[in-house]
Amino acid sequence: MTALVIRRPSPVIVLPKRAFVRSRNRPGGDTAELDWTLLFRAFLEAFEWTLDVARAFARDFPEEVDAVERVRTFMRRRIAGQVAHVRLEDILFTFGLIMGAIERDLGPLRRTTPAEVAKRARIATAQLGMIPG
């Protein structure tokens, strides 16, 4: 069966180079500058692995693989401190793939305890030939 996919223009997300937050620790709640790229760099390997899972989940559909790769390119550029743009549609689609892969491998999370999630994650990781760090 062939599905008809209608592509609509979607908004482009542009993240600022730096994120700003209100600091509760400063008198008057002054705005303090935070460099979010440090957090993203710390999770780079996990991001890459997750996008690999999403890509594998979409492997039979080249347009879907392209959407995942656009998200990957966006993420890499942002971590490198470069200006980057990505369609909201691509982010939401990729997130949906990731959630689908989690549901496939771990089952419905709403009925699963944290201990069961950890147990299933260890099993899934072992099946993929990876050792949890």
More confident residue, 60 or 114: 60
What does the mean pLDDT of the chain come to?
A: 74
The count of domains in the chain is 1
Residue 50 falls inside a structural domain: yes
Q: What is the pLDDT of residues 42-70, one digit of tens each?
A: 888 899 999 999 999 899 999 999 999 99
Residue 3 falls inside a structural domain: no
Residue 102 falls inside a structural domain: yes
Q: Residue 32 in contact with residue 23, Cβ under 8 Å? A: yes
Q: Where are the alpha helices (DSSP H) in the chain?
A: 37-42, 44-57, 62-79, 88-106, 114-127
**pLDDT band (50, 70, 90) for residue 125:** low
Does residue 104 surpass a pLDDT of 90? no
Average pLDDT of the segment spanning 76-105: 89
Residue 73 falls inside a structural domain: yes
Range of the domain at 121: 36-127
